[in-house]
């Protein structure tokens, strides 16, 4: 997991400590190490790295295990950015695109796969927008109220994502 998370998530920690902490998170236990850093898993996890190193499969396994856990209050949903765009287009044809996006925004635990691979300028009846930015903005509001957790995967470096999303 060192290749996935790098050392930006928990500066000063060794790779084994980061791997153990991520594994602890996925097992639905809470680790005191998260309390000593500004990065808390309650905000969600973003796994980044090159293609084929297991970012998506880790979240799919987590979602499967969590969906079978009677003690877990949130049922994670894994969806790719391309699926979000295609589903939105289909729903928009029946004038329900906003309802679809709001439904995703309210999902208690959402895992967005392949962040950065979406159409950055999506044409929505003459309005140019980025659906993922819109979705993340909505989820941020719900997160502030303690209602949602958002995770994601990306093949891009943090600096590239910051440039892409003007963060």
* DSSP single-letter state for residue 42: G
Angle at 31 between CA 30 and CA 35, to 5 degrees: 105
**Given this model, what pLDDT does residue 150 score?**
92
Q: Are 70 and 57 in contact (CB under 8 A)?
A: no
**Given this model, what pLDDT does residue 95 score?**
78
Mean pLDDT by 10-residue block, N- to C-terminus, for the chain (167 residues)?
41 57 59 50 80 85 77 81 91 83 92 89 76 91 89 90 80
153: enclosing H helix or E strand: strand 149-154
**Given this model, what pLDDT does residue 71 score?**
67
Q: Are 7 and 21 in contact (CB under 8 A)?
A: no
In 3D, which of 5, 46, 39, 40 has the Cα closest to residue 153? 46
**Given this model, what pLDDT does residue 28 score?**
53
Report the predicted TM-score, pTM, of the whole model to 2 decimal places: 0.77
Q: Give helix 55-67 / helix 15-26 axis angle, nearest 10°.
A: 30
Q: Is 87 exposed, middle or buried (0-12, 13-18, 19+ CB in 10 A)?
A: middle
Q: How far apart are CA 46 and CA 150, in angstroms?
A: 9
Q: How far apart are CA 9 and CA 101, in angstroms?
A: 29
For 105, list phi and psi in degrees, rounded to 5.
-60, -30
Q: Are 132 and 139 in contact (CB under 8 A)?
A: no
**Given this model, what pLDDT does residue 34 score?**
47
């Amino acid at each position: 997991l060192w290749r996935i998370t790098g050392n930006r998530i928990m500066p000063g920690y060794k790779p084994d400590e980061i791997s153990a902490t991520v594994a602890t998170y996925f097992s639905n236990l809470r680790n005191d190490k998260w309390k000593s850093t500004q990065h808390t898993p309650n905000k969600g996890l973003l796994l980044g790295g090159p293609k084929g190193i297991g970012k998506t499969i880790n979240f799919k396994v987590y979602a499967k295990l969590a969906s079978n856990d009677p003690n877990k209050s949130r049922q994670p949903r894994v969806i790719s950015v391309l699926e979000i765009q295609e589903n939105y287009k289909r729903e928009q044809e029946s004038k329900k695109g906003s309802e679809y996006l709001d439904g995703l925004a309210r999902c208690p635990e959402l895992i967005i796969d392949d962040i950065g691979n979406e159409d950055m300028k999506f044409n929505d009846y003459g309005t140019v927008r980025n659906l993922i930015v819109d979705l993340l903005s909505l989820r941020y509001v719900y997160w502030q109220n303690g209602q949602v957790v958002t995770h994601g995967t990306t093949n891009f470096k943090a600096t590239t994502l910051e440039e892409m999303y003007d963060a």
